Amino acid sequence: MVTETEILEKLGTVMDPEIPGLSIVEMGMVGEVRVRQDEVAVDLIPTFLGCPALELIQQRVEAALKPYGATVRFRYDIPWSSDRINQAGRARLAAWGVAPPLPETRTLPRCPLCGSPNTEKQSDFGPSLCRALYYCRDCQQPFEGMKTI
């Protein structure tokens, strides 16, 4: 019989479609995993409403859990927030050049390229709804940051 830990390990192989190498577990998208008799059920928490990748993510999760015949669904009653992204996920975002979301007390992210706090926001509309565009005054490079919600 499969355990919740094994299911979580499988879920850790499902990547966010927008950021290669970032898993949905690291993104904090896994709500609840239930294993009961032969039944496996996984609740996913959608990240940013309007991100177009939810259907794709659900398909990937179903494919990864196919041997277990898992029931996969999105729950909309649990609000996802950027606080759910774990440390590994934040490190991956930074390595990919996307500034991780900040605690709400800070308003501007550090530059993921040079680490400078001397940044400014250029636009709330990045390449996807999840991201905003920033500019680093020190290395004079634009960069993307995950929006804090």
Q: Which positions lie near Zn ion, rule CB under 5 A? A: 111, 113-114, 116, 136, 138-139
Comparing CB distances to Zn ion, the nearer of 41 and 113 is 113
* Shortest distance, position 41 Cβ to Zn ion, whole Å: 44
* Shortest distance, position 116 Cβ to Zn ion, whole Å: 5
Comparing CB distances to Zn ion, the nearer of 35 and 136 is 136
CA–CA dist 134, 84 (Å, integer) = 22
Which H or E run contains 41? strand 39-44
Comparing CB distances to Zn ion, the nearer of 50 and 117 is 117
35-38: Cβ within 8 A, 24+ apart: 35/1, 35/2, 35/3, 35/4, 35/7, 38/1, 38/69
* Shortest distance, position 146 Cβ to Zn ion, whole Å: 17
